[in-house]
Structure 1
Amino acid sequence: MRSFVFAALLLSLPAAAEYAAADLTNGGTIKGKITYNGKPPPPKKIMITKDPKICGTSRDDDTFEIAPDGGVRNVVVYLADIKSGKKFEGEMKPELDQKGCHYQPHVQVVALHSTLQVKSSDPILHNVHSYLNGSTVINFAVPPQPGLVLPKKLDKPGGQQLKCDVHNFMTGGFFVAENPYYGLTGEDGTYEIKDVPAGNYTIATWHQAAGPLSEPIAVAAGGTATFNGKVK
């Protein structure tokens, strides 16, 4: 009886509120740089035997793209707990292409509840397989059919690793964002998040292979806060 009452109480609780756009004035900025923690690993060459006419015979492993000074590319830096602020301007039909046996873009940030448009520019069979915390979210074959677009609604927030089960050297990822307060690091590892309402937040990171970071950050009205992190 007690467990039944507890379950009923859980069902009666309101769902967590999703992010809401609100008027914003005098927002602040968060900026910084993400670097590799320790000595960067030497570049790794991948030899290719599957579909070499399309995929090539070798390529550099692009799981980690690290600048000479240690800056790490394609790290998503985001506010994990902000509930309102600027309008989400993200594309609601983002595209994921497969070209030359590469996911394009290699990493991207997309809006929660957007519909990913999966396609392939290659004249060979591919497979799109994504994982969220180790569990499969997307897993379907993409045949070499010109004009074919396979839609997938993205209703689970967080970062998803990508792989192709046909070509195991193809990797990438995308981050499903619950709010527009994120940055994607460039070639030098830097990022910037603008128009942040004054307040205290949790800033976090996601990378397709590195462990996540998370720590509190305070943003003043019209001010600039800094978050630098090291990933591995």
Structure 2
Amino acid sequence: MLRFRFLAGLTLVASPVFAGGAITGAVNYSGPPPKQEKIDRKGDAACTKSDAFDESILVSKDGKGLQNVVVRLKNGPAAPAPATPISVEQDGCLYRPRVQGAVAGQKIEIRNTDPTLHNVHGYQGAKTVFNQAQPPKAAALSKTVPADADIIKLKCDVHSWMVSYIVVSKSPFFATSGADGRFEIKDVPPGKYTVEAWHEKLGTKTAEITVEEGKTADLPLAFAFAAN
């Protein structure tokens, strides 16, 4: 596709405009589905209104798809952080979402909708990047994803079972697998890429892919995680 633009002196110049492609696929799981153990939350009455279960490995109903895997381009083109922040909710004494992606430098907006005190403790490896209490009905906390971060782990120092992960990229081309294990990364510039799939407990997998202008590249069986 060509786009025409005028320069000084009325010279007509044709500039190529590329239509982005897409990457789709599924993150697969093999082995017996893990048992979701009930979390003991008796220490805070505000957290016992409903049951909660371990969500570190979530498998689809048919046992084949793996949820909460961030799939990203390791060598995707860098871009400025979006103006829109990512959102983290403390709801039912759990972080929601549990796993998501972000661009380096992007804002994080953290809310507490529970009738109890939480403490948002962000780690980059073993290093604390922020640590702040958030009482019920308090204003949202605004934090910034560090420019050099890869994984940010959120914990609550009041409720030890609360955990969330933010997978950080320089590139805006990433997606998180859904309840069926599927994902889609949209508007990817044409090119050859290394695609990484990251899971909080099962590690990482990589695959190579070529994206063509205006087309969808599929990775149906590239990422297969097995039970530990």
Q: 2:54 matched to 1:71?
A: no
- In 2, the alpha carbon distance for the partners of 1:95 and 1:148 equals 14
Q: Select the residue among 23, 28, 45 that pairs with 1:35.
A: 28
- In 1, the alpha carbon distance for the partners of 2:114 and 2:225 equals 33
Aligned to 1:150: 141
- In 1, the alpha carbon distance for the partners of 2:90 and 2:84 equals 19
> Residue 200 of structure 2 aligns to a residue in which SS?
coil
Contact 2:82–2:103 under 8 Å retained in 1: yes
> Residue 46 of structure 2 aligns to a residue in which SS?
helix
TM-score (norm 2): 0.79
Residue identity opposite 1:48 in structure 2: R
> Residue 64 of structure 1 aligns to a residue in which SS?
coil
- In 2, the alpha carbon distance for the partners of 1:127 and 1:67 equals 31
Residue identity opposite 1:71 in structure 2: G
- In 2, the alpha carbon distance for the partners of 1:135 and 1:230 equals 31
The Cα shift of 1:128 comes to: 1.5
- Aligned CA RMSD, in angstroms, stands at 2.4
Stretches of structure 1 that go unaligned for 5 or more consecutive residues are 1-22
Aligned to 2:216: 224
Aligned to 2:5: none
Q: 2:157 matched to 1:171?
A: no
Aligned to 1:80: 74
Contact 1:161–1:208 under 8 Å retained in 2: no
Contact 1:90–1:111 under 8 Å retained in 2: yes
Number of aligned positions between the proteins: 207
Aligned to 2:6: none
Residue identity opposite 1:192 in structure 2: E
Moved more, 58-67 or 148-157: 148-157
> Would the alpha carbon gap of residues 127 and 89 (structure 1) be closer, same or farther in structure 2, given more than 3 Å must change?
closer
The Cα shift of 1:29 comes to: 1.8
TM-score (norm 1): 0.78
The Cα shift of 1:165 comes to: 1.8
Contact 2:87–2:110 under 8 Å retained in 1: yes
1:6-49 Cα deviation digits (max 9, x unpaired): xxxxxxxxxxxxxxxxx852322211100224322122222221
Aligned to 2:91: 99
Aligned to 2:109: 117
- In 1, the alpha carbon distance for the partners of 2:59 and 2:104 equals 29
The Cα shift of 1:167 comes to: 0.9
Deviation beyond 4 Å, 4+ runs, structure 1: 87-91
- In 2, the alpha carbon distance for the partners of 1:24 and 1:73 equals 35
Question: Which structure's residues are more often strand, by fraction?
Answer: 2
Question: Which structure's residues are more often helix, by fraction?
Answer: 1
